[in-house]
Structure 1
Amino acid sequence: MCDEADFSARQVGVMVVNFRCPHDTLACLGALSRLFTAPRRIVVVDNGSGDGSTEVLEKELAATSMQPRPELLALPDNLGFSGGNNAALRLLLQDSGCRAFWLLNSDAMPESFALDALCARLNALPRPGACGSLLVHTRGVGRVQCMSGGRLNRFFGTTRHLGGGLDTNAACAIPSATVEARLDYVCGASLLVSRAAVERVGLLDEVYFLYYEDVEWGIRMRRAGFDLGYAARSLVRHKEGGATGATSGPEGAQPVRSRFIDYLMLRNRMWLMRANYPLALPCVIASYLGVAARRCHRGQTDRLGLVVRAAWHGFVGRMGRPAAEEERSA
């Protein structure tokens, strides 16, 4: 039974970050318009796309009859996943009527009851921090990307999505509490976070730019005593890779990573462990030998320098948005 501390979908601020994929973003907004309960506000962030995305979105949003009418926040530069979402969070935090915030990828398509289910599960947690959806691959039928989020290996810094590859019906049969007992972080593709958690632990850490920022947020929330949840009835179809430029792989497979994405994931993994689990660094460093061996096995010997450079930058804390020359060399 709800008490006065509970909130509903009508008190949620939604944020969708666009980077050079306005058609995905508009499709996501179309799905939001079909939600069973409309949120309080929707903020679309154009993350310095510089490709005409802002103009496309301005035109479409001006003509929409959607309620609430999405607000467009155009940033001059690409601030990454964390910076783009933080810009929206700072705006929505000024609205005292927003009691929770839904981070939703631009390449995600929520089903009509997705937000209501997230709210119900987050309200049910003893100390509501964040709650995730049942993410299902867009390609193919009924294959799970993850159940809310995943596990962090505290020796090597690798992550593993919970329920990846399961049939959707099988995943729905697993109790939320069973998933939550194993949950270290909520995937940022669909993440509902309470205002109390944001005000207590702070915004996403922008030094990550892209990848692992949701993992780090989960670590902070857990350490602050907040609970992480899983709403099995919150079904969200996710293209995966559409918002980052990675090429979608076969159903149930990881997207094919560009050199730049490979660099960011390896760099950020090293920094996450150095900052949060420094005693594990010998194991983490040793694991990068395995990374190099796998790149050789895949015929990617041209990435060995990238692996070394990413590990070193993460180790010494060369973080944030990589310089233009680093993007080109990656």
Structure 2
Amino acid sequence: MSAAELGVIVVTYNSGREVLDCLESLLSASRAVGVPLRIVVVDNASSDETVTGIFDWAQGQSDYLPPDSLPFSITAVPKPLSVIEAMPDVAQSREGHVHLVKSTTNIGFAGGVNLGLKYLAGFSDIRHFWVLNPDSVVPPASLQALHDELGDNPSYGLMGGRVCYMDTPDRIQIDGGTVNFHTGVTGNLNLGRAASETPVPDAAELDFIMGASMVASRDFYERVGPMCEDYFLYYEEVDWAMRRGDLPLRYCDGLVVYHHAGSSIGSPGWGRSASPFSLYFKHRGRIRFLRRFRPASLVIGFAYSLAYAARLFLRDRSLSEAWAVLAGSFGLRPPRQIRDRLTWPVWKRRDQAGRRDTSGSQGE
């Protein structure tokens, strides 16, 4: 793989400190192993200090100190760094350490990724697009492994590696995703296993690559198009993988990313239950996925929702969580605590558009 063939997309929303650790790890790894990266941060209208924090960090207004909790050491890159503000449809000719694209509203994970894809695709030398969560960090060895894998010029659609929990770095969060096509429930391959004792999976075992660390080939992007934005959160990467045709999924041995796991949206983590916000969009996405790709399984999918909500209520007395599951599954108005976190008019239009699309089309 030659210089500048790898572009990185980091979508932020109220990511504050986490995105700085992510950027430092990427730039530090790039310097350590000599692999150039073109990094674009897409901010989904954060209401916190995410954007101003990136500029302050880049100018070196305060010394960067890696958190003690990181599972590897980071050598802070010299400051100042250049941050180029960009538009998604105009590839900037100027080189910068970080390119920043700002959305005026929160358009969800897929919407943010699509802005980054559109921007990076404007650079003809970018052949691979690496989607990375802002609450993830990358050690140099992982970037080297990915560089070596891509240097073999593999034919692939989507590629992933190992994602481990940040706070328990030897515990696997996911080695790739699986789907139960009756219920639509997704699974994390090797979830909770010790990374030091668990062999890497055969790529043939995978149904999708987790969006926290997912590499797409330009061939895939040009054939399949952008991610479907109907989901807002969850299942976008599952949908994308289902549309890959004959382009295979690949697993990169040695590509390990450490992930905080749902730090901004309350996704379930090891020993932590999901928030109502996470549950609503998880089950909303699951039903949309079935409607699009397995409509004959919708009855089973709805039955699963009812059983899951009943278990939450009867076992945990979690009325808000149970209602979030039902509202998401049956297309009901989300609870206020969820609506208050959204750019509601924009999200509502997306939701209505998604409900109209029940024909099993690809959505893009």
Q: Normalization by structure 1: what TM-score?
A: 0.85
Deviation at 1:138, TM superposition (A): 0.7
Q: Which letter maps to 2:149? A: R
Unaligned runs of 5+ in 1: 1-6, 315-320
Indicate how the Cα distance of structure 1 residues 303 and 135 shifts in structure 2: closer, same or farther if over 3 A, else same.
closer
Q: Which residue, out of 46, 50, 54, partners 2:47? A: 50
Counterpart of 1:229 in 2: which secondary structure?
A: strand
Asked if residue 266 in structure 1 is aligned to residue 304 in structure 2, the reply is no
Asked if residue 213 in structure 1 is aligned to residue 236 in structure 2, the reply is yes
Residues 208-253 of structure 1: CA deviation (Å, up to 9, x unaligned): 11111011111111xx1111111120111111012x331774xx34
Q: Which letter maps to 2:297? A: A
Q: Which residue, out of 251, 255, 259, partners 1:230? A: 251
Counterpart of 1:127 in 2: which secondary structure?
A: coil
Counterpart of 1:211 in 2: which secondary structure?
A: coil
Aligned to 2:189: 162
Aligned to 1:300: 318
Counterpart of 1:101 in 2: which secondary structure?
A: strand
Deviation at 1:85, TM superposition (A): 1.1
Indicate how the Cα distance of structure 1 residues 86 and 286 shifts in structure 2: closer, same or farther if over 3 A, else same.
same
- Contact 1:9/1:37 (8 A) holds in 2: no
Q: State the number of aligned residues.
A: 304
Counterpart of 1:191 in 2: which secondary structure?
A: strand
Aligned to 2:328: 310
- Contact 2:177/2:186 (8 A) holds in 1: yes
- Contact 2:35/2:147 (8 A) holds in 1: no
Deviation at 1:202, TM superposition (A): 0.7
Counterpart of 1:88 in 2: which secondary structure?
A: helix
Instruction: Give the whole-Å Cα distance in 1 for the aligned partners of 2:280 and 2:306.
Output: 15
Unaligned runs of 5+ in 2: 61-78, 83-95, 333-341, 349-364
Aligned to 2:338: none
Asked if residue 152 in structure 1 is aligned to residue 179 in structure 2, the reply is yes
Q: Which letter maps to 2:344? A: A
Counterpart of 1:33 in 2: which secondary structure?
A: helix
Q: Which residue, out of 266, 270, 287, partners 1:246? A: 266
Q: Normalization by structure 2: what TM-score?
A: 0.77
C-alpha RMSD over aligned residues: 2.4
Which stretch shifts more, 297-306 or 85-94? 297-306
Identity among equivalent pairs (%): 31
Residues 141-187 of structure 1: CA deviation (Å, up to 9, x unaligned): 4111111x21000000001111111111222x33xxx4311100000
Q: Which residue, out of 293, 301, 312, partners 1:284? A: 301
Q: Which letter maps to 1:229? A: R
Superposed counterparts of 1:41-190, under 5 Å: 41-63=38-60, 64-65=79-80, 69-122=97-150, 127-147=155-175, 149-171=176-198, 173-174=199-200, 178-190=201-213
Indicate how the Cα distance of structure 1 residues 259 and 115 shifts in structure 2: closer, same or farther if over 3 A, else same.
same
Deviation at 1:303, TM superposition (A): 3.8
